[in-house]
Every structure is written in C-alpha cells, then in structure tokens.
Amino acid sequence: YSIVIDPGHGGSDVGAVGIGGIRETKVVLDIALQVAEILKKKGLKVILTRGSEIDVDLYPRVSLANRSKVDLFVSIHANASRNKRRNVNGIETFFYSGAKGFKLASYIQDQVIKVSPGSPDRGVRKSRFYVIRWTHMPAALVETGFLTGRMDSSRLAQAAHRYKVSVAISRGILLYLKEEGGR
Ligand code: ZN
C-alpha cells in the first residue's frame, strides 16, 4: 500500500501557536516524520508533503497525492481554540465524504484517544478542509490536541507523547488497511 502523510503548515506558516509559544508546524512535522518511519518499516510506500520547515501550499499537497495515486491521504495537525482558552482540550479527526474516509478517520481517532487519557473525545467530524476535500482517495485530517489547552499542550510538548501519538496514528492507518484494503 501507499500513502501520503501531510504535516500541516510549514515554513512561514507556523499554524497554531500555543502555550509557551509551542508551534503547530514543529509538532506536526515531528509526528509526521515518525509516522512515515513506522509505516515504511511495515512495508508501506510513504510520501511526505514536506520533510522540513518549508512553505507548501495546499494545492501541491493534494496534487502530489492525486498524481501519485496513493491508497490513502492523512493530514496531521494540532488545534487552537478561539480566545486561546486553556480549558479547551481534545482530539478530533475529520473526513470529507464517503464510508471509507469516515472509517479511516474513525480508526485514527480511536487510536489517538487511547494515548491521550483525559483529553476529550471530540469525535469524527465531516469537514470541507481543502486537503481532504480534493484528494481522490480516502482521506482524513487528525487534530492531535489543542496547543492552547493546558492538558494537551503540555503533553504535545513532550517527545515521548509525540512518539505515542505517532504510533497511534500509524496503528489506525494499519488497522484501516487490514480491514478495508487499498482503494
Ligand atoms: Zn493546522
């Protein structure tokens, strides 16, 4: 199987900025690189939309996945709440359409919840985010926690937790492929 892993933001687009100045772009790149390594070791062909702090627009992320005809597309993000409320924490995973996208999002959500005890399960939600809307394969976008939330940000600041999240996302992807196969 083949997959595009998309660390959100990058370069001059730092994404969410959370407690203590923690930046989404760095958090999600670290997780994405680890997910890529884990999945490669399991025999998947993995393509990253970025492997360093560079600017990448949304369209090239989508066209890379569509041109490469990969089986799956997974975008990795971290959240910020409006007004940076520190009591807002939680995990949520988005899909755009279709039973397969929903299942992919559900498998990932379930696994990330397991490694984030106490962080609210905000569920699997439908969304029109560009990268999951225009990709031609089952696609999901996971929000690994709120960088503006006290609980989530202190965890996501720790390398050990980011590794756990990476294993969880990988496990969700592998479970999906085991149950549903490629496209
Ligand atoms: Zn983001």
Torsional sign, CA 100, 162, 28, 120: positive
Q: Could you tell me the distance, in angstroms and rounded to a whole number, from the CA of residue 9 to the centre of ligand 1?
A: 6
Q: Tell the burial category of 172 from Cβ atoms under 10 Å away from its Cβ (0-12, 13-18, 19+).
A: buried
Contact 39, 170 (CB under 8 A): yes
Provide the pLDDT for residue 14. Answer: 98
CA 78 / ligand 1 centre spacing (Å): 5
Check: pTM over 0.85? Answer yes or no.
yes
- String of DSSP letters for 82-145: GGG-TT---EEEEE-SSHHHHHHHHHHHHHHHHTSTTS-EEEEEE---HHHHS-SS-EEEEEEE
Tell me the CA–centroid distance for residue 53 and ligand 1, in Å.
14
8 C-alpha to ligand 1 centroid (Å): 5
State the distance from the centre of ligand 1 to the C-alpha of 142, rounded, in angstroms.
Answer: 9
pLDDT tens over the chain, length 183 residues: 999 999 999 999 999 999 999 999 999 999 999 999 999 999 999 999 999 999 999 999 999 999 999 999 999 999 999 999 999 999 999 999 999 999 999 999 999 999 999 999 999 999 999 999 999 999 999 999 999 999 999 999 999 999 999 999 999 999 999 999 987
Distance (angstroms) between ligand 1 centre and the Cα of 183 equals: 26
- 38 alpha carbon – ligand 1 mean position (Å): 22
Alpha carbon of 175 to ligand 1 centroid (Å) = 24
C-alpha 87 to ligand 1 mean position (Å): 19
